[in-house]
Structure 1
Amino acid sequence: MSDSESVTKALSALHAGKLVAIPTETVYGLGADASNPLAIQAIYQLKGRPANHPLIVHVQAPLEYSQDKAHDWLAILSPWARHIPESAFVLIEHFWPGPLTLVFQKSRLVLDAVTGGQDTIAIRSPSHPLAQELLRGFRGGIAAPSANRFGKVSPSSAAHVRSEFIDQDDLLILDGGDCQFGIESTILDVSGDGEPRLLRPGSISPKQIKEATGINVSIDPIKDQKIPRVSGSLKAHYAPNTPLHLYKQGLSDFLQSIKQGRILDQSIALVVWEDKNLHDLAQLKELTKKSKLIQVPKEPIAFAHGLYRLLRLLDQSQYQTIYIPSPPSGEGWDAIRDRLQRASFGSGPSSINHPSS
């Protein structure tokens, strides 16, 4: 089936109130008509998502821009957002379509189910060409949280979605290949006064925003002010069923732990940076014959792109434990650190939390 045929089929499903898994440049989303209460309810039911956990609404980008780009975007956003500050238009001009979600004061027309009962709404315009084709054909907002069971590892390919919902034969999946970024969008709150506030780190950092627009992004929450709830903000999230631990000590210290027998008899997946000492790696391979040694790039963009694929692969490989090094300091690693800390806290075969070492 061609892409256009797949999009036509997806449009029919959305108009009929059904769910469609859609590709974006971040992760795959579980999409539904954002104006259809029953379709929104179906998202919550299939994911097992708490009713007060808001969704992100995806909107199309203007097909053609006039001389007034702000007016073009206003026409698209006005059914959803009640007030759009000037700073938001600047951010939109530089980063939409793309992996940036903005939180606005919601329009009175927006369903409470979409916002988790809040007076704010999260909106973004994805840059994936298939997502944009779908949105242009749909001519409305598509609510689309990540296409996975609530709190579990996000999907970065159509195959991930299919394995996540293996029992949902009628779920239509629009296959757009592997996701470009591999982690969820940056979320900024522009619903209040003052500087935009970072609610979730992502591929676009506050430093990049400052350099591109001159806008300062507040990183620390403002005291005594209500902060909107957003996707991915719970302490446990993005979690594999296999216990996941983040280790901060150097590889040599980890070697010593193995030699002392702490994990010698376990079947573990040990993730290490590609730049580690070859001698240490050789010793590790010798000592952990029952385990798997996986090298990953110590570069944030490449690491983020493969993060969820790695977690899914290791989670399906029957290891007793997964060990991943804590990301280095620096803003470029903030989004990855955020995902791994929440994944570690929520990991395990039951609801028992496993704090990182």
Structure 2
Amino acid sequence: MSADSTPLQSFAVINEAVQTLGNGGLVAFPTETVYGLGADAKNPEAINKIFSAKGRPSNHPLIVHLAAPDQLDQAQVDWVPVLAPWVRDLSEDALKLVNTFWPGPLTLVFRKDKSVLNELTGGQDTVAIRSPAHPIAQELLRQFKGGVVAPSANRFGKVSPTSAADVRSEFEDIPGLLILDGGDCEVGIESTIIDLSSGDHAILLRPGLITPSEIFAKTGIRVHLPGESNASEQDATLTRVSGSLRAHYAPTTPLRMYASGRVLDALSEFPDIKSCVAVAVWDSDSSLSEGGHPSVHFEEVIVPSDSAIFASRLYRSLRDLDQQGWDLILFPEPPVGEEWDGVRDRLQRACFGSGPSSSSQANS
């Protein structure tokens, strides 16, 4: 059954989703970042259903989603009982990050409690956890009263879904999949991932909406980039996390990025020049010119020059363009700056994985 007739889910539908999870089934649900394909984090058979449905390698770890504690008019929310069953130790910095950014698009990696299933950690000694900032996700997690693992609700390596319709189109061959419709995702790209498992410093494993500068400004915690000289030798063997493979988020249509004013350089990668090219152009730029290039038909697609709005629309744009029959999609290189690192990361991986052979690339 698909339960996606309205963005506002009834209690009955949430209850059905809770029962489905409890019975070892899969439920697709909205978060503020992208839609997730959820399963009971304590049920190895259910977790394996996720890997099977997505075509995801079993050593690629999943993120555990947890409900926020009921505040009950408390001045300070107590996250310790929520996290205690999952993590081995909770540092002061970890609690500071949790209290500042949860619920929200920030995933934290901890040394895992011995009870956490190897099926969800990819065999590592760490576990990735977040609390999503979406009312439907929170209601589902609260009523389920347990952790839910939920990678993006799409085939592995393909463009992440930001609407219930995207999920339906990805999993048409799973007619019984329960889909909770929460409208379009607000953030639009996956969460920032910070590794706290070394115990002595925080390492950025995946950029997202929440940047190291924002973390430092709000908590005083410095987030190190992988390989920084003052970070420990553990950086040499970074924790594996979701979305870290070179090819990911990829459309079937070839996708490339171009530097400002260098559209033709991007086209030169294709000696058998294609005839129909969709070119994304900043809303602040003047129109492209096709003069002198009669063999190529350009069509402009305006994209926002605000980083947060760009992120919220990125996957929607890639999905739509991928379905329109273009021979090539060109996107402008994002500007320099931390606030653009998340979308730059997604676009680079999408470019590498794109094209008709993207399925095999994503698995390599």
TM-score, normalized by the shorter chain, greater than 0.5: yes
Instruction: Please give the alpha-carbon distance, in whole angstroms, between the structure 2 residues aligned to 1:237 and 1:154.
Output: 9
Match of 1:102 in 2: 108
Q: Let me know the Cα RMSD of the aligned residues.
A: 2.3
Q: Pick from 116, 120, 123 the counterpart of residue 114 of structure 1.
A: 120
Is residue 311 of structure 1 aligned with residue 318 of structure 2?
yes
TM-score relative to the length of structure 2:
0.90
User: When the two structures are aligned, how many residues end up with a matched partner?
Assistant: 348
Match of 2:203 in 1: 197
Partner of 2:100, secondary structure, is helix
Match of 1:153 in 2: 159
Q: Pick from 163, 186, 190 the counterpart of residue 184 of structure 1.
A: 190
Instruction: Please give the alpha-carbon distance, in whole angstroms, between the structure 1 residues aligned to 2:338 and 2:351.
Output: 20
Instruction: Please give the alpha-carbon distance, in whole angstroms, between the structure 2 residues aligned to 1:288 and 1:65.
Output: 66
Listed as ranges, the gaps of 5+ residues in structure 1 are none
Match of 2:25 in 1: 18
Partner of 1:342, secondary structure, is helix
Q: Pick from 113, 119, 124 the counterpart of residue 130 of structure 2.
A: 124
Partner of 1:295, secondary structure, is strand
Q: How much has 1:288 moved relative to structure 2?
A: 7.9
Instruction: Please give the alpha-carbon distance, in whole angstroms, between the structure 2 residues aligned to 1:115 and 1:192.
Output: 16
Match of 1:49 in 2: 56
Is residue 6 of structure 1 aligned with residue 17 of structure 2?
no
Partner of 2:223, secondary structure, is coil
Q: How much has 1:212 moved relative to structure 2?
A: 0.6
Match of 1:271 in 2: 280
Q: Pick from 195, 206, 212 the counterpart of residue 206 of structure 1.
A: 212
TM-score relative to the length of structure 1:
0.92
Conserved in 1, the CA contact under 8 Å of 2:274 and 2:296?
no
Report 1:125-144 matches (<5 A): 125-144=131-150
Relative to structure 1, is the Cα distance of residues 266 and 69 closer, same or farther in structure 2, using a 3 angstrom cutoff?
Answer: same
Q: How much has 1:276 moved relative to structure 2?
A: 1.2
Partner of 2:88, secondary structure, is strand
Q: How much has 1:290 moved relative to structure 2?
A: 3.9
Q: How much has 1:224 moved relative to structure 2?
A: 3.0
Relative to structure 1, is the Cα distance of residues 327 and 87 closer, same or farther in structure 2, using a 3 angstrom cutoff?
Answer: same
Runs of 4+ in 1 over 2 A off after TM superposition: 65-70, 220-224, 253-259, 261-265, 281-284, 286-292, 351-354
Instruction: Please give the alpha-carbon distance, in whole angstroms, between the structure 2 residues aligned to 1:256 and 1:80.
Output: 50
Is residue 236 of structure 1 aligned with residue 242 of structure 2?
no
Match of 2:343 in 1: 336
Conserved in 2, the CA contact under 8 Å of 1:326 and 1:337?
yes
Relative to structure 1, is the Cα distance of residues 288 and 166 closer, same or farther in structure 2, using a 3 angstrom cutoff?
Answer: farther
Instruction: Please give the alpha-carbon distance, in whole angstroms, between the structure 2 residues aligned to 1:304 and 1:185.
Output: 12
Match of 2:306 in 1: 299
Match of 1:31 in 2: 38
Q: Pick from 142, 155, 163 the counterpart of residue 169 of structure 2.
A: 163
Taking every aligned residue pair, what percent have the same amino acid on both sides?
54
Conserved in 2, the CA contact under 8 Å of 1:185 and 1:202?
yes
Instruction: Please give the alpha-carbon distance, in whole angstroms, between the structure 2 residues aligned to 1:97 and 1:304.
Output: 19
Is residue 91 of structure 1 aligned with residue 97 of structure 2?
yes
Partner of 2:326, secondary structure, is coil
Instruction: Please give the alpha-carbon distance, in whole angstroms, between the structure 2 residues aligned to 1:4 and 1:257.
Output: 51
Partner of 2:316, secondary structure, is helix
Is residue 58 of structure 1 aligned with residue 69 of structure 2?
no
